[in-house]
Amino acid sequence: MKTQHEEDATALPSVLRFDAVGLNYKTRSGTTTALEGLNIDIAEAEFVSVLGPSGCGKSTLMKIASGLLPTTSGSAKLSGQVITGPNPEVGVVFQQPTLLPWKTVLENVLMPIRSLGLPQKQYRSRAMQLLDLVNLSDFANNYPYELSGGMQQRVGIARGLVHDPKVLLMDEPFAALDAMTRETMMGELQRIWMETRKSVLFITHSIPEAVFLSDRVVTLSQRPGRVIDDLRIDLPRPRQLQDMTSAEFGAHSARLRQLFVDMAKSADPQEATA
């Protein structure tokens, strides 16, 4: 019998797909299996978050999707083609914005254009449109040190979108922000995603963040990482921060939290508590 996600996914073209993906790292003490038999399918314009305990392979998954690591087994595909290296159809937003301090905001947004050898004049207007989208058009000629942490991360989002990729990979982009700024950025990212409709693979350690932002939340097991739950978030959009107090939001969060409780009990029954 097909799951609800599998039935829904057949109606939309797959953009990013992981089929039975496994990855082993060679170390001085032997081989470490980071991922094993992992299956995730992300459809066009779908926002998918990945949760999992530390060391379960979330960052490894991002490196495979961005073409920085080959799989040991299985395959990762972008629009049906096996990922063999970095691809211009993929944009990346890092945990830290990693902006070049000697370049202006606009110049930082245009960095992927320069790296890809694309005509900067042609993309300059797109970069300005994106800065307007992230509410930073007035800061195009400022330098990173003149921006707050949240503003710098919005520059990072604009940079990830400037070359119009099919997929946006986001690796805990709000982890370094304070709680209030993080909540503001959640709302901002939802707005940006609803306007651009990119397929998003979003890594996070925050259950509320995953539920608020996502169409689906995929939970990985302890290492080696494999999918143990694929939860569709059926809350209407646009979502408001006050929706996080609703019964429906709480039910989704409770289900995900229980997965981590169960994993902790499985790892150490003496230590785990509810």
Q: And the tokens for 50? A: 């990945």
Strands (E), the chain: 14-27, 30-43, 47-51, 73-78, 81-82, 90-93, 167-171, 199-203, 216-220, 227-232
- The 3-state DSSP class for residue 122 equals helix
Amino acid in position 223: R
- Within this chain, do residues 52 and 119 fall inside the same structural domain, yes or no? no
User: What is the CB-side half-sphere exposure of residue 31 using CA atoms within 13 A?
Assistant: 6
- Within this chain, do residues 261 and 228 fall inside the same structural domain, yes or no? yes
Last residue of a domain, one of 110, 142, 164: 164
Query: What is the pLDDT, as a whole number, of residue 176?
Result: 85
CATH number, domain of 49, equals 3.40.50.300
Residue 81 in any domain: the answer is yes
Give the domain extent around 46.
41-89+166-274
- pTM for this prediction: 0.89
Q: Compute how many other C-beta atoms are within 10 angstroms of the C-beta atom of residue 55.
A: 13
d(CA 199, CA 46): 5
Residue 217 in any domain: the answer is yes
Residue 110 in any domain: the answer is yes
Query: What is the pLDDT, as a whole number, of residue 265?
Result: 84
- Within this chain, do residues 200 and 140 fall inside the same structural domain, yes or no? no
Last residue of a domain, one of 164, 196, 220: 164
Query: What is the pLDDT, as a whole number, of residue 5?
Result: 46
Last residue of a domain, one of 108, 141, 164: 164
Q: Which is it for the CA torsion 189, 195, 196, 202, positive or negative?
A: positive
- Within this chain, do residues 109 and 187 fall inside the same structural domain, yes or no? no
Residue 24 in any domain: the answer is no
- Within this chain, do residues 143 and 266 fall inside the same structural domain, yes or no? no
Per-residue tens of pLDDT for the chain, all 274 residues: 344 444 454 467 889 999 999 999 888 888 889 999 999 999 999 999 999 998 898 989 999 999 999 999 999 999 999 999 999 999 999 888 889 999 999 999 999 999 888 888 889 999 999 999 999 999 999 999 999 999 999 999 999 999 999 999 999 999 888 999 999 999 999 999 999 999 999 999 999 999 999 999 999 999 999 999 999 999 999 999 999 999 999 999 999 999 999 998 887 655 444 3
Total domains in the chain come to 2
Residue 201 in any domain: the answer is yes
- Within this chain, do residues 199 and 270 fall inside the same structural domain, yes or no? yes
